[in-house]
């Protein structure tokens, strides 16, 4: 037995003996997980506990039926070892029963599973293709199906095994673990990356490291590095077509701002919004605070929230007083009223505003403006700041994240900083004094 299969076998034994009742297994494609977990394991489980019930679910009904049939056939041939027999009059692949009473049901993920409850629920993969993985609607439906199935079909002391090749950070496993953090539900998570940190292959006899490195290079060269990171390394992004790879966001946090004497410039930018209300369909307004230190690192904090125009102006004036930026850049393509309101509310103490009219190609502008900074590790983000956490989330998901207000404001702040350029700032010509 391959080494990783031996590890998985021990984990499944803990499920069978009751030492554990919640198991998540993450493994690359074609590494043998289904044969052991959905074929041999249910057969052994029912051989040991022939009065219990098993529900097996796969990405498609055909796959679930295939492995259900495999488990049935194993017990038909070898059941004598356990003293059990499969009933001849009830031996269909979607539902077969032992003479001792135990039943195995099989269905595709999302399908109806009727009848008795399950002492063991096995979910073996849940996306049939990348379109399903990319679809937020499909991911939501999948999780709702899981909640209804695990809640209504599982017996009170029943065990659950969820096994998959990861596709998306918010797939079923991601949502289960996110909920577990909130509820305290304990899950045993076993992760099997195709290549370890030491470069060793998970299953070198079949998938040698040289072949996996070739696959990795092909995926990165094709412009789809997430395929390698998600499917092979079990490190899926929340957005599959993210512009910047995960390693751009390693070691990016800071705790304390550099001393004023070490700062070359300090700017603030605002990407405004129509604001108001609490609907998730409304855009955020994004304040970015940036300070360039003499070592070339730009330190960033953020305040990203849904606010009406008056609240945005009030916050901006507050930050002018507390952060004391040398320039406050405001996007005014469609928000000229903000500048006018600032002038009205400043009461003769007008802050140094730079009004910015953006290029129409927002995505292209953000890519050009941020990629070099991220690739060269020139940005540091404020730790324990809710606004900065949301900014980094938007950056990791760009350009497909639902919101891009933070990246837009960050690009604007860095552009203004480049205009200033030196310790004695030369304000851009568009600054209103």
Tokens read off for 277:
């209300």
Regarding pTM above 0.75, the answer is no
Structure confidence by residue, pLDDT tens digits, 317-344: 899 989 999 999 887 665 565 666 766 6
pLDDT tens for residues 225-266? 778 988 999 988 766 667 888 889 999 999 999 999 999 999
User: Among 72-76, 126-130, 159-163, 210-214, which stretch is predicted with the lowest mean pLDDT?
Assistant: 126-130
Q: For the ranges 91-100, 179-188, 344-353, which has the lowest average pLDDT?
A: 344-353
pLDDT of residue 340: 64
Per-residue confidence band for 426, with pLDDT thresholds at 50, 70 and 90 = very low
Sheet holding 22-26, edge to edge: 86-92, 95-98, 103-108, 53-58, 118-124, 154-164, 22-26, 188-191
**Averaged pLDDT score across all residues of the chain:** 87
DSSP 80: G
pLDDT of 430 > 60? The answer is no
Q: Is 103 helix (H, G, I), strand (E, B) or coil?
A: strand
Contact predicate 302/385, CB 8 Å: yes
Contact 191, 26 (CB under 8 A): yes
Q: Are 56 and 62 in contact (CB under 8 A)?
A: no
Residue 36's nearest CA partner among 190, 266, 207, 239 is 190
pLDDT at residue 144, rounded to an integer: 92
Report the distance separating Cα 202 and Cα 220, nearest Å. Answer: 20
Task: Tell me the mean pLDDT in the region 392-419.
Answer: 89
Per residue in 27-60, pLDDT (tens digit) is 999 999 999 999 999 999 999 999 999 999 998 9
> With pLDDT > 70 as the criterion, what percentage of the chain qualifies?
88
pLDDT-based confidence at residue 347 (cuts at 50, 70, 90): low
Give me the residues paired with residue 280 across strands: none
pLDDT of res. 431:
37
* pLDDT band per the 50, 70, 90 thresholds, residue 278: very low
Cβ atoms < 10 Å from Cβ of 286: 30
- pLDDT bucket at 284, cuts 50 / 70 / 90: confident
- Where residue 384 falls (left for φ over 0; alpha for ψ -120 to 50; beta otherwise) is left
φ/ψ (deg, to 5) at 350: -65, 125
Of the candidates 195, 168, 339, which has an alpha carbon nearest to the alpha carbon of residue 270? 339
pLDDT at 398: 87
Instruction: Give the count of beta carbons closer than 10 Å to the beta carbon of residue 290.
Output: 25
Query: Binning pLDDT at 50, 70 and 90, where does residue 117 land?
Result: confident
As given in the structure block, the two tokens for residue 268 are: 């603030």
d(CA 219, CA 225): 5
Q: What span, in angstroms and rounded, lies between the C-alpha atoms of 381 and 249?
A: 10
Phi-psi region for residue 353, left (φ > 0), alpha (ψ -120 to 50) or beta?
beta
Confidence band, pLDDT 50/70/90 cuts, at residue 403: confident
Distance CA 286, CA 271 (A): 5
Domains of the chain in start order, with CATH, are 3-232 (3.40.50.300), 249-432 (3.30.420)
pLDDT category at 280 given cuts 50, 70, 90 is very low
Using an 8 Å Cβ cutoff, are 38 and 239 in contact?
no
């Amino acid at each position: 037995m391959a080494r990783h299969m031996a590890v998985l076998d021990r984990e499944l034994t803990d499920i069978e003996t009751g030492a554990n009742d919640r198991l998540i297994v993450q493994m690359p494609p074609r590494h043998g997980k289904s044969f052991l977990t959905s074929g041999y394991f249910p057969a052994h489980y029912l051989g040991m506990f022939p009065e219990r019930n098993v529900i097996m679910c796969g990405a498609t009904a055909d796959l679930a039926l295939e492995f259900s049939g495999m488990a049935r056939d194993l017990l038909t041939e070898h059941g004598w070892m356990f003293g059990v027999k499969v009933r001849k009059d009830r031996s269909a692949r979607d539902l077969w029963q032992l003479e001792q009473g135990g039943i195995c049901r099989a269905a595709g993920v999302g399908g109806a599973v009727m009848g008795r409850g399950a002492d063991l629920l096995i979910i073996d993969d849940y996306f049939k293709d990348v379109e399903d993985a990319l679809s937020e609607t499909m991911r939501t439906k999948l999780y709702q199906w899981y909640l209804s199935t695990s809640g209504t079909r599982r017996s009170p002391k029943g065990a659950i095994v969820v096994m998959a090749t990861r596709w998306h950070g918010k797939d079923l496993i991601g949502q289960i673990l996110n909920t577990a953090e909130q509820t305290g539900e304990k899950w045993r998570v076993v992760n099997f990356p195709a290549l370890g940190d030491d470069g060793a292959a998970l299953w070198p006899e079949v998938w040698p490291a040289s072949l996996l490195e070739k696959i990795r290079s092909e995926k990165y060269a094709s412009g789809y590095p997430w395929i390698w990171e998600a499917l092979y390394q079990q490190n899926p992004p929340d957005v599959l077509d993210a512009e910047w790879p995960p390693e751009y966001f390693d070691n990016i946090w800071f705790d304390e701002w550099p001393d004023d004497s070490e700062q070359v410039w300090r700017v603030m930018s605002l990407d405004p919004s129509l604001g108001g209300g609490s609907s998730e369909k409304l855009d955020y307004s994004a304040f970015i605070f940036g300070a360039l230190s003499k070592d070339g690192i730009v330190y960033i904090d953020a305040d990203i929230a849904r606010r009406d125009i008056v609240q945005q102006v009030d916050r901006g004036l507050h930050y002018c007083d507390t952060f004391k930026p040398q320039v406050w850049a405001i996007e005014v393509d469609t928000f000229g009223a903000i500048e006018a309101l600032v002038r009205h509310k400043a009461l003769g103490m007008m802050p140094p505003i730079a009004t910015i009219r953006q290029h129409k190609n927002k995505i292209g502008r953000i890519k050009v403006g941020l990629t070099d900074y991220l690739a060269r590790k020139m940005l540091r983000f404020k730790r324990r700041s809710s606004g900065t956490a949301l900014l980094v989330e938007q950056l990791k998901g760009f350009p497909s994240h639902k919101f891009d207000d933070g990246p837009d404001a960050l690009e604007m702040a860095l552009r203004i900083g480049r205009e200033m350029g030196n310790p004695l700032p030369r304000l851009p010509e568009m600054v209103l004094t």
